[in-house]
Structure 1
Amino acid sequence: MSDDRRPGSRLILDLLAYTAARLVLVAVVTALILGVGHLIGIREFPVVVALLFAMVIGLPLGIWLFAPLRRRANESIAVMDERRRRDKEQLQARLRGDEDSADS
């Protein structure tokens, strides 16, 4: 399986997907805020204010909406951490001259 050989690329893809989803959510909430403001008669609603409100609203909303993406990214991080820990242990064993390190 390619995920076992290239956990770094899987991690990058998972993090990019989660980040892109969060950014799209902020853009959609910003557009909704500006649209509602326009509908109720506020023609010159500052985009920066709408964007700040969207970020505040999008924080908890994104955690809830994108839980599967977040879990997948967390799993990829855990796989990468485990691989890094295993590689470090193998390197330390080789540096100590342990004969078991050749079997790993």
Structure 2
Amino acid sequence: MSDAPPGTHLARDLTFYVLARFALVAVVAAVLLLLGVPLLVALAVALVVGLPLGLLLFRNLNARVTAGLAARNERRAKERARLRAQLRGEDQ
């Protein structure tokens, strides 16, 4: 997509991923409703089928979100280590 390092678009990627998975559940529920399945049953089946199916269908988006979260956690760990060293009075 772009040359941006992982994690720079974490909020955007996470939003797209969540919306895509909810949309998939909605599509599965709509198909079941068109087939005459009651609403609550259609929603329950759509959740059970749609959420795991989303892991497969949106694999690339999931990988981007995972990379972004890993990069953010790494930055936070480095900042935490820097602050702890500063509190101990260590020079950097």
| TM above 0.5 | yes
Q: Residue type matched to 2:9 in 1? A: R
Residue in structure 2 matched with residue 71 of structure 1 by the alignment: 63
Matches within 5 A, 1:52-71: 52-71=44-63
TM-score calculated relative to the size of structure 2: 0.85
Superposed CA RMSD: 1.7
Residue in structure 2 matched with residue 93 of structure 1 by the alignment: 85
Q: Which runs of 5+ in 1 are unaligned?
A: 38-44
Give the number of aligned pairs: 88
Q: Which runs of 5+ in 2 are unaligned?
A: none
Q: How far apart, CA to CA, are the structure 2 residues paired with 1:49 and 1:10?
A: 36
Q: Residue type matched to 1:63 in 2? A: L
Percent pairwise identity: 43
TM-score calculated relative to the size of structure 1: 0.76
Aligned partner of residue 9 in structure 2, secondary structure? helix
Residue in structure 1 matched with residue 20 of structure 2 by the alignment: 21
Rg larger in structure: 1
Q: Residue type matched to 2:35 in 1? A: V
Residue in structure 2 matched with residue 31 of structure 1 by the alignment: 30
Structure number with higher relative contact order (C-alpha < 8 Å, ≥ 6 residues apart): 2
